[in-house]
Copies of this chain bind each other. A is one copy, B any other.
Amino acid sequence: MSSQIVNLKKVQNICEQCGIYRLCLPMGLSSGDLDQLDDIIKRSRPLKKGEYIFREDEAFGAIYALRSGSIKSFILDERGDEHVIGFKMPGDLVGLSGISGSHYRNSAVALETSSVCEIPFTQLEELGKEVQGLSHHLIEIMSKEIQEEHQKVAMCSKMPADARLASVIQTLSQRFKERGFSASEFHLSMSRNDIANMLGLAVETISRLFTQFQEQGILSVDRKHIRIIDSQKLADLIRMD
């Protein structure tokens, strides 16, 4: 049956089926090149909330593309305390910091039911020699990550608490939008604690700020459901003293 052939073709090009492949590593590859990339990518069963994609100090073998759900990335200090680096959304790659050295330099855990594509790194590099633009694209993604981390360093250390939280909300909003979701209304998959930790603030401060933002008519907050009421005020918070 011709429908079978079509399906077979479809199965080969899972990336093209994937709603967010334009944000992901396959971006910019031709259909033929996608086939080759498809071949080396392993799709795993969905991860449940709390399951690890990889742990710090584990042997590095692959980078992972998040297909659905969300991931928390963090490192541990000498005392075993968690330091949240950031939250990943579909299309994002995790594990990039493990390429240098032979071990992952952070842990990645699912914040909700999530699925990832495993991209064995050695094979990816091999493929990079053949497929025009693949290495370049990986380098671009890494460049962007460096840039985003720079922003984070600058933001995190010098802004007051309210501006930091506003910035997190705004960034999440933008990222949801890029992925075709509502920019004004979304669900936080991470806990207040995770947000506080990432921003270097106390949980209580985050809690108070959510209340305050609500009183000021900036947000509507119901548990983990956020609605941005006044995005201008939100933006102003980030820019002002």
Contacts and interface: CB of A to CB of B under 8 A. Distances in A.
Interface of A: 75, 77-79, 83, 85, 96-101, 105-106, 125, 128-129, 135-136, 138-147, 149-154, 156-158, 197-200, 239
Contacts of A140: 99-100
Contacts of A149: 146, 149-150, 152-153
B239 A75 contact: no
A157 B156 contact: yes
Contact of A239 (B79, B128, B157): B79
A83 B239 contact: no
Given A75-B151, A239-B79, A143 B97 contact: yes
A96 B140 CA distance: 9
Copies of this chain assembled into the complex: 2
B141 A97 contact: no
B157 A85 contact: no
Contact of A154 (B77, B79, B138, B146): B77
A199 B157 contact: yes
Contacts of A129: 129
Contacts of A101: 144, 147
Given A106-B150, A153-B149, A143 B75 contact: no
A146 B142 contact: yes
Most buried by B among A105, A139, A151: A139
Given A99-B139, A158-B197, 12 more contacts: A75-B154, A77-B154, A83-B154, A83-B158, A101-B144, A105-B147, A128-B135, A139-B139, A142-B143, A152-B153, A156-B157, A157-B199
B77 A144 contact: no
A146 to B, nearest CB: 5
A144 to B, nearest CB: 4
Nearest to A74: B154
Nearest to A235: B78
